[in-house]
Amino acid sequence: MRLLELMVLKQQQLRFAPTDITRLLAQLQQQTEQRLRQAGIRFSCDAEPALIPMEAELMQTVLLNLLDNAIKATPAGGSIRLHGRWHGNAYLISLHDTGRGIPAAELSRISEPFYMVDKSRARAAGGVGLGLSICREILELHGFRLDFASGEGRGTTATVTMEIHPHREVKHHD
């Protein structure tokens, strides 16, 4: 339902609330630990403490989508590492997998709507190629950025950069 609200959000102001990043990442780990265990993928998560203004449900959607993509790309015996850290006035959340990687020619297109690197795998898993474009849209609404680094056979790193702007008004939920 939250994703359906995204179209409406473009005309409205997001309600930012200070969000504890370590708690958000712990919830993400808890939501996916059984799936990771069943897939035979090692998972580690560590994050420096941070309280970032955001719409937490939408950010959770972004992180779940990125983790879902990493799980699909990582074979049994592989690993996924989720790491949060401060870098100047920005907080970075990086998700690195040891999966198959993305060909360089495809990397710039992966967040286009309906674009899929491996169409047969994505469709077999029920994908239509909207996940990353929705993630990018959510992040842009926050003023955040999503970048990818990848190499075939070396895995992929997705990094969410959340620059902290002191003038941004933080609105608390009622």
* pLDDT, tens only, 25-47: 999 999 999 999 999 999 999 99
At 173 the pLDDT is 36
Q: Quickly state the pLDDT bin for 169 (edges 50, 70, 90).
A: very low
At 151 the pLDDT is 86
Q: Which two three-digit tokens encode residue 5?
A: 């609200």
* Topology (CATH level 3) of domain 17-163: Heat Shock Protein 90 (3.30.565)
pTM for the structure as a whole = 0.80
Mean pLDDT over 55-62 rounds to 91
Q: What is the pLDDT of residues 67-78, one digit of tens each?
A: 998 999 999 999
Locus of tokens 């950025």: 145
Mean pLDDT over 151-164 rounds to 92
Mean pLDDT over 122-136 rounds to 59
The helices-and-strands tally (H runs, E runs) of the chain is 6, 7
Cα dihedral sign, 49-54-56-59: negative
- Please measure the distance between the N-terminal and C-terminal CA atoms of the chain and give it in whole angstroms: 20
At 118 the pLDDT is 54
Cβ-count burial of 34 within 10 angstroms (0-12 exposed, 13-18 middle, 19+ buried)?
A: exposed
In the chain, where the domains are located: 17-163
Q: Which two three-digit tokens encode residue 85?
A: 């850290």
